[in-house]
Amino acid sequence: MSIEDTFREEADELLIDLEAAMLELEEQPDDADCVDRAFRAMHTIKGSGAMFGFDKLAAFTHHLENAFDLVRSGDLKITKELISISLDSGDHIRDLLEVKESNSDIDQASQQLLDRLKLLVGTESDNGSNSLNDADVIIEQDDATSEDIKTYRINIKPDENSFANGMDPLPILRELNDLGICNVTACTDELPEFDKYDAEKCYLSWEIILSTDQVLNSIEDVFIFVDDDWKITIEQIDESDNASSVTEYNCHVEHQDEHINLPEKIDSKNDDLAILVDKQTIPETLPIKKKSKKQKTKEVVNVKVPAEKLDSLMDLVGELVIAQARLNQSAGVLHDSALTNIAEDMERLSSELRDNTLGLRMLPIGTTFSRFRRLVRDLSNDLGKQIELVTEGGETELDKTVIDKLSDPLIHLIRNSIDHGIETPEVRKASGKSEKGTVLLTAVHSESNVIVTIKDDGSGLDAEAIREKAIERGVITLDSTPTPQDLYNLIFDAGFSTAKEVSNISGRGVGMDVVKRSIEDLRGKVSINSVPGEGSTVTIVLPLTLAIIEGLLISVSKENYVIPLTIVEECIELTKQEVMQANGKQLIEVRGELVPYLRLRECFSNDSDNPDIEQIIIVKNGSSRFGFTVDEVIGQHQTVIKGLGKMYEGIHGVAGATILGSGDVAIILDAPALIELAVTDNNTMH
Amino acid sequence: MSIKIESVDNKSQYIISGELTIYTVKEYKDAIFENFSIDNDIDIDLEAVDEVDISGLQLLSTIYKSLENSSAEIKITSLSNVVSDAFNISNLINVLNTENIEQ
C-alpha cells in the first residue's frame, strides 16, 4: 500500500468521524466536544493532505476548518446550513481524495461549497478571499496579524536513517512554512568530507523561528508522522521579542518565492538571525518526544493490516487444517504412539490458530451502522419525513467480508423502509402515531449466526397489493390461499415491486431480489414480516464466518458429507424395524416427538442399498427438528469451506465442499435448503 | 533520471535531470565521487531536475562544503524552480556560494 493510499484510508476514517460529529451536532448544537472532534478531523485532513501533495484538498479543507475555528471561538453558530455544508464538504473531500490533479468539475464544486460557506460565515470573519488558490491560504495566515501571534523556536534533528526510512524533512519544513512566518536556519556542521559521505544518511538539522497565530497543537501536528528517533523540540520564545522578530522574518518570507539571486540579502539576514538567536532567552522546552511516545503506545494497541494479508493468512490456515487432517489420517493408520501424540498436539494448535485467525477478521458491525445515519438524514429530508435511526448491538462482531458485502443490501432495505414504510408526518399524525418515524437497526449473536433486523414503525406491507401483483405476474393462482407471511416474502422475487410511484429511491422492483441474492451469497437468509399499520421487520440471518466451520463428517456408501456442527442436535440409530413400523412415512419418534427425516442416499441419487442400521442426524431447522439418515457418523471435522466452482455453484442443498485428510472431497450440506427442497417436493406430490 | 558528467581539463560539468531524491542519490554520489577531485572546477546544471528531496540537496551541499577550502570554483549554472524552491525552504541555499549561481 502506498503512503498515499494510507492517507486516503485515514482520511476516510476521519471523514466518517466528521460526519458522525456533524450528525450529533444536528441533535445537540451546543456540544463543544463534537465541535472539537470535527475541527480536529478537518485539521488533520488538511495537514496530512498538504503533506502528501493533495493541495486542492488542503486548501479546500482549510476554509472549512476556519469556519469551525469560528464556531470554537463562539463567533459562529452551528446551524442546519453549516451542518449541511459540512456534510456536503465531507462528500466533496472524498472526491478530492480521488483526484489529485485539477479538474474543472471538481474545482467548480469546491467553489460552490465555498460560496455557500462564505455566505454563511460572512466576509469579515473569513479574512477576505475564499478563492481556491493555494497561495491564498498562506497569505491569509500572513495577514493574520492579531495579538495572538506567538513565536516559537523549533529544533529538528532528523534521525540519521530517516531518508532510508522514507521520511523526507522537506515536506515538514514546507508545512511549518505554511503555518506562519517562518525563518529556517539549516545546520550543516555535521556534513562530512565527500570521501566519508554516505548519501543515504541524514547529517542535517534545522532551527526554525516560527511566528504564528496557530496553537502549539497545530505545530506538533506537523510532526505527527515523524519517527520517534527524530529529536524535535518546540519552545515558545519570550513574547517581548515578538514585534521585532515578526518584522525581521517577514522580509525573509517575502523573498522566499523569488529565485536564488540575492546573496547579500541572505547573508545580512543571517546576521540578523544570529543576533536574534543570541538575544533570546531559552524558556522551558516543550519536548514533542513525549507526545510521540504516547502515540506509539496507541499504535501498538491497533495494528493496521491490509485485508488481503488477512485473507491470505486465512487461506494458509485453511491449507494447514487440511494438512493437519492428512497427518491425523496417517497417524491413525501407522499406529505409532509418538506420531499420534504429535498429531494431537498439532491439531490443538492448529485449531487455536484457526480460531485466532478467524477472530482477527471479526469487526464490529457498528462501523457499517454509523454510515446509515447520514443516509437516513438525507433521505428523510428529501422526502419531507421525520425519521430517526436507532441502532442497537453495534458491537456485535462479524467477519469482515460479510460486513463489507452487507452494506449495500442494508442500504437498500433502509431505503425501502424510509420510502415505502414510514409515512409522511401528516399521515402519521392522522393515524394517531407520533410524527417522527423510527427505523430500528439491531444486530445480535445467536449461536453461530448473527441476526440483523431492520424494523420500521411505518404502515407495513400491503398484503392485498402483493397478492394482486403476484396473481398478475402468475406467481400464484387466483384460488390459492398463501399465508400473509408467504405473501410478504414474495417481494424478494425478481421484478416485484408494489410501489405506486417509481422514485429515485425505490420502487423499480430491482433491488429486493438483489438483496436476497447478496445475502444468500453470504450463506445467509432474509425474510420479512409485517403488521399492517404497525410496520415491517426484515430479518437477516448471517453465518459468523465464511471460511472454516466445525462440521460433522458423515458417510453414505463411502461418499463423505459434512453437516455444520452448529445445527446438529443429536445422532440416533434407525433400525429396519422402526422403518417398517412407520408405514412408509419417513418419520421417527424421538422422545415422544415425531421428527421427519430424509435419506441422504435418495437426495444424492445413490443407488446402493440401505444398511440394516442407519444413523439419523437430527438438526435444528428454525423452531422445528429434522433428520437426515446416513450410513456412518465419522466424527467432528474442522471444515475448510471451498467453493465448488462455476459449474456447480447453483446447486440447491450444497453449501460447498472440503478436502479431507485422505485427499477425498466431501460435500458440505446446506441442510435448511435440503429440507426446503424436500418440503416443496412433498407439497407438489400431494 | 540521469547524471551526465563531462570533464575537460580541470573542469567538470554535472548535468543532472529527473529525480534527485533518496532513490537516486547514492547512484549520483558514486558517479560524482569517481570523477571528483578538490582541484577541479565544477559546474552543476540542475535545469532538468523535476523532483528533489533533502537527501538530494544534502549531496549538493556536501560537494560545496568539500570545496570550501579549495581554490577550485564550483557553481550551479542553472536550476529548476523545484530545486530553487527546495533550497529556499530548507535554507540550504546558505551553503551554496550564491554569487556563483547564474540565473
CATH number of the CATH domain containing B87? 3.30.750.24
The DSSP string of A348-394 is HHHHHHHHHHHHHTEEETHHHHHHHHHHHHHHHHHHT-EEEEEEE-T
Q: In the prediction, which pLDDT does B52 show? A: 92
Q: What percent of chain A has pLDDT over 70?
A: 82
Q: In the prediction, which pLDDT does A301 show? A: 64
How close B96 gets to chain A, by Cα (Å)?
10
Q: Mutate one of A138, A156, A157, A168 to test the B interface: name it (highest B CB count within 10 A).
A: A168
Q: What is the side-by-side strand order in the sheet with B2-8? A: B2-8, B11-20, B41-52, B74-79
Q: What is the mean pLDDT of residues B74-97?
A: 84
- Amino acid making up residue A354: R
Q: Which among A529, A472, A536, A532 has a CA at the least distance from the CA of A498?
A: A472
Q: Which of A52-56, A324-328, A538-542 has the lowest mean pLDDT?
A: A52-56
- For B8-55, what is each residue's pLDDT tens digit? 878 888 899 888 988 888 888 888 888 888 888 888 889 889 899 999
Higher pLDDT, A253 or A642: A642
Q: In the prediction, which pLDDT does B33 show? A: 86
- For A617-636, what is each residue's pLDDT tens digit? 999 877 788 999 999 999 88
Q: Do A163 and B54 touch (CB under 8 A)?
A: yes
Rounded distance between C-alpha atoms, residue A478 and residue A424, angstroms: 34
Model confidence at A125: pLDDT above 50 = no
> Which residue do the cell numbers 521520511 mark?
A167
Q: C-alpha cell of A286?
A: 516543550
Q: In the prediction, which pLDDT does A130 show? A: 42
Q: Do B95 and A186 touch (CB under 8 A)?
A: yes
Does the domain formed by A363-543 have CATH 3.30.565.10? yes
Cβ-contact A357, A314 below 8 angstroms: yes
Q: What is the mean pLDDT of residues A365-379?
A: 82
Q: What percent of chain A has pLDDT over 90?
A: 8
Q: Which residues of A touch B81 (CB under 8 A)?
A: 259
Q: Mutate one of B3, B16, B22, B40 to test the A interface: name it (highest A CB count within 10 A).
A: B22
In chain B, positions 27-46, which contact chain A (CB-CB < 8 Å)?
Answer: 28-29, 33, 36
In angstroms, the first-to-last Cα distance of chain A is: 60
3-state secondary structure labels for all residues of chain B: CEEEEEEECCEEEEEEEEEECCCCHHHHHHHHHHHCCCCCEEEEEEEEEEEECHHHHHHHHHHHHHCCCCCCCEEEEEECHHHHHHHHHHCHHHCCCHHHCCC
How close B58 gets to chain A, by Cα (Å)?
8
- For A329-353, what is each residue's pLDDT tens digit? 888 888 888 899 999 999 899 888 8
Q: Do A256 and B89 touch (CB under 8 A)?
A: yes
Pick the CATH number of A3-133 from 3.40.50.11540, 3.40.50.720, 1.20.120.160, 3.40.50.2020: 1.20.120.160
Q: Mutate one of A160, A197, A203 to test the B interface: name it (highest B CB count within 10 A).
A: A197
Pairs of residues, one from chain A and one from chain B, whose beta carbons lie less than 8 Å apart: 99
Q: Do A169 and B54 touch (CB under 8 A)?
A: yes
Please indicate if any CB of chain A lies within 8 Å of the CB of B58: yes
Close Cβ partners of A162 (under 8 Å, ≥ 6 residues apart):
A168, A169, A202, A227, A229, A230
Q: Mutate one of A3, A157, A187, A188 to test the B interface: name it (highest B CB count within 10 A).
A: A188
Model confidence at A414: pLDDT above 60 = yes
Average pLDDT over all residues of chain A? 78
Model confidence at A248: pLDDT above 70 = no
How close B103 gets to chain A, by Cα (Å)?
7
Q: In the prediction, which pLDDT does A117 show? A: 86
User: CATH code for A548-685?
Assistant: 2.40.50.180
Q: Which of A329-333, A367-371, A494-498, B25-29 has the lowest mean pLDDT?
A: A494-498
- For A49-98, what is each residue's pLDDT tens digit? 877 778 888 888 888 888 888 888 888 888 888 888 898 899 889 888 88
Q: Which of A86-100, A382-396, A429-443, A492-506 has the lowest mean pLDDT?
A: A492-506
Chain B CA closest to residue A262: B98
* Chain centroid, CA B9 distance in Å: 19
In this complex, the residue of A185, A204, A260 whose CB is nearest that of residue B54 is A204
Q: C-alpha cell of B90?
A: 530548507
Bridge pairing between strands A286-287 and A436-446: unpaired
Q: Which of A241-245, A331-335, A540-544, A549-553 has the lowest mean pLDDT?
A: A241-245
Q: In the prediction, which pLDDT does A497 show? A: 60
In this complex, the residue of A168, A197, A260 whose CB is nearest that of residue B62 is A197
Q: Which among A410, A638, A641 has a CA at the least distance from the CA of A546?
A: A641
Rounded distance between C-alpha atoms, residue A286 and residue A157, angstroms: 15
Domain that includes residue B18, residue range: 2-100
Q: Which residues of B touch A197 (CB under 8 A)?
A: 29, 62
Q: C-alpha cell of A467?
A: 397478492
DSSP letter at A642? B
Q: C-alpha cell of A640?
A: 475448510
3-state secondary structure labels for all residues of A240-302: HHHHHHHHHHHHHHHHHCCCCCCHHHHHHHHHHHHHHHHHCCCCCCEECHHHHHHHHHHHHHC
| Per-residue pLDDT band at A555 (split at 50, 70, 90) | very high
Q: Do A170 and B86 touch (CB under 8 A)?
A: yes
Rounded distance between C-alpha atoms, residue A648 and residue A659, angstroms: 16
Model confidence at A578: pLDDT above 60 = yes
Fold (topology level) of A307-361: Helix Hairpins (1.10.287)
Phi, psi of A655 (to 5 degrees): -95, -10
Phi, psi of A185 (to 5 degrees): -120, 125
- Amino acid making up residue A518: S
Q: What total of structural domains would you count in chain B?
A: 1
Q: Which among A453, A460, A433 has a CA at the least distance from the CA of A390?
A: A453
Model confidence at A259: pLDDT above 50 = no
Q: Structure pTM? A: 0.49
Q: In the prediction, which pLDDT does A618 show? A: 93
Q: What is the mean pLDDT of residues A553-578?
A: 88
Bridge pairing between strands A362-364 and A397-399: antiparallel
How close A168 gets to chain B, by Cα (Å)?
6
Q: In the prediction, which pLDDT does A244 show? A: 39
